[in-house]
Structure 1
Amino acid sequence: MSARLVLLGPPGAGKGTQAARLAERLGVPAISTGDIFRANIRGGTELGRTAQAYTARGELVPDEVTNAMVRDRLAQDDAAEGFLLDGYPRNVAQVAELDAVLAADGRGVDLAVELTADPEVVVARLLHRATVEGREDDTEDVVRHRLTVYTEQTAPVAALYAERGLLAQVDGIGDVDEVTQRLLDAIGQPAR
């Protein structure tokens, strides 16, 4: 099945887990901006060196660098028949860039799926993960700030896809298999 999907959701909603499961089920690559950054940095590419300069200073990588990395990744053969984007687009300007990249090939996004989650559940989940993984910097204040930033930046993205009739919201809380099935139902994939 050809699918060009955007997966939205706050930190701790299970996007990474669900992106991998959906991508496998749909036979398309799960494309995470974090993975793209790490691959470019490891590979010593020009974009990777530029991104690393920002991250080393604790700054966000600018849109033009992120956009260029995503554009390069979407041009690879495995994404020709579809993809699942995780972590991109994060703002309305990135939506416009993604639209332009896809329109150049006569394509567009099929659907944006937003994993929703009760903020208190997400905070508890992220604090537990921080303890298990030894992330001492992930305090409750930091986690709540990340959720606020997500809401401020991504709410307009979800609203834009909703205006286009391309947004499905799925409850991201619950058993992993149940959430996967909710996502498959939302994108019109039958149960196995």
Structure 2
Amino acid sequence: MIIFAGRSNVGKSTLIFRLTGKDVKRGKRPGVTRKPVEINWRGRKVVDLPGFGFMSGVPKAKQERIKTEIVRFIEENAKDIELAVLVVDGKSAIEIIERWEKRGEIPIDVEFFQFLRELGIPTIVAVNKLDKVRNVGATINRLIEKFGLSGTWEDYRDTFIPVSAKFGTNFEELRRRIIESTEGP
């Protein structure tokens, strides 16, 4: 099983559409996906998880329940998850992470990355919305630091992959890494 996780409105469903060619519900507003959606691709289950965080028109209590359901889904299926693709918005992730840090809180993107690692789930970070990022290398280096890793993008080229789901930019690299991670080279 391959899961796609991340904040609401970062492009998880669009990346799955690009990867599989199968139509999954997508939209411009946060919170279109509210329950895990499973599709088959190359003999594997691909799961589009709801986004965590803000969802347009959804009460905060329900947003928290959805986050709890995501965590429970991952914990209950951890042994079957071959790969997690954590999708972050390359344009706004650093700003959001720093806002959480200023409040003395662990940013949810960072917490989720650490959670997947604690469960031993191999994880690729798809840094989406590449078309809106001015300095890709600097952005990914900052993300690596914020995610608690040491080193630079050169050290994590197989883990942090910049893409544009909207335009398909660098998408073949992400597809290649997903296939290598689940099927071997």
TM-score range, shorter chain: 0.3 to 0.5
**TM-score, normalised to structure 2's length?**
0.45
Q: TM-score, normalised by structure 1?
A: 0.44
* Larger-gyration structure (1/2): 1
Higher RCO (CA 8 Å, separation ≥ 6 residues) = 1
Q: Where is the helix percentage greater, Structure 1 or Structure 2?
A: 1
